[in-house]
Amino acid sequence: MEKKLINYETLLRITKAISHSRDLEEVALMTAESIKTALGAKGCSLFLINRKNNELQLATSYGLSDEYINKGPVSALRSIAQSLEEGPVAIYDVMDDPRIQYPNEARKEGIASLLSVPIVVGGNLIGAMRVYTSEPWEFTLEDVNFVQSLAQLAGMALNMARYTKGFKSSIDILKSMREVQTHRSTRRTPYEGVPISVPSI
């Protein structure tokens, strides 16, 4: 993955796009697409926690195959649980790390490295953002801060929508998204087409 400079101009453009969108699906998809494009990564996914079964349920993803997305339930207790409890976790080799729940599926998908950051809003953990690369990658502090910033922005947007629309939990937001996965590779978002000044289930 070619390293590119991340700058504040790109973050500002993405923030503005998110602040002007009232579509929950659009916010989630736009964030995943923006991170994937900015870092030159293979893909990016946004998960929300289902407290009833302790699973991370996919809100949206960009750049990943349907086969990988549908590989099976993602446990919040098994799949890089450390990133939900202690903060961002970067994994250099997904095939040689016990925290990866589906290593064989990751290998088949062509995933080499992974970054997982928690999404915390108002002191409450509501989900996680994960970035996947197709070649071994040592995520820098700048990479981590960039992903975490956008993940938090998306989390706040989803949380505000939860209150304004009367949702009772973050999982209700997930249910309100209309077939997010089918729009992953074809749908255009407000961010698409914005000049990239930055270059990282």
CATH number of the structural domain spanning residue 66: 3.30.450.40
Number of domains in the chain: 1
> Does 198 map to a domain?
no
Query: Is 70 exceeded by the pLDDT of residue 174?
Result: no
Q: The tokens of 105 are what? A: 């599926």
* Average pLDDT across the chain, whole number: 76
CB contact at 8 A, 109 and 100: no
SS (H, E, C) 48-75: EEECCCCEEEEEEEECCCHHHHCCCCEE
Least confident stretch, 1-15, 132-146, 168-182: 168-182
Residue 73 tokens read as: 């339930």
Range with the largest mean pLDDT of 14-23, 47-56, 71-80, 166-175: 47-56
pLDDT beyond 70 at 98 = yes
Per-residue pLDDT band at 82 (split at 50, 70, 90): low
pLDDT attached to residue 173: 55
Determine the straight-line distance between the first and last CA of the chain, rounded to whole angstroms.
21
Which pLDDT score, from 0 to 100, does residue 193 have?
A: 37
The answer as to whether 87 is a domain residue is yes
In terms of pLDDT, which residue wins out, 189 or 155?
155
Q: Is residue 96 part of a domain?
A: yes
d(CA 10, CA 87): 24
Let me know if residue 168 belongs to a domain: yes
Q: What pTM does this model have?
A: 0.76
**Which residue range(s) make up the domain with 106?**
8-177
- Per-residue model confidence (pLDDT) at position 153: 85
> Would you state the pLDDT for residue 42?
96
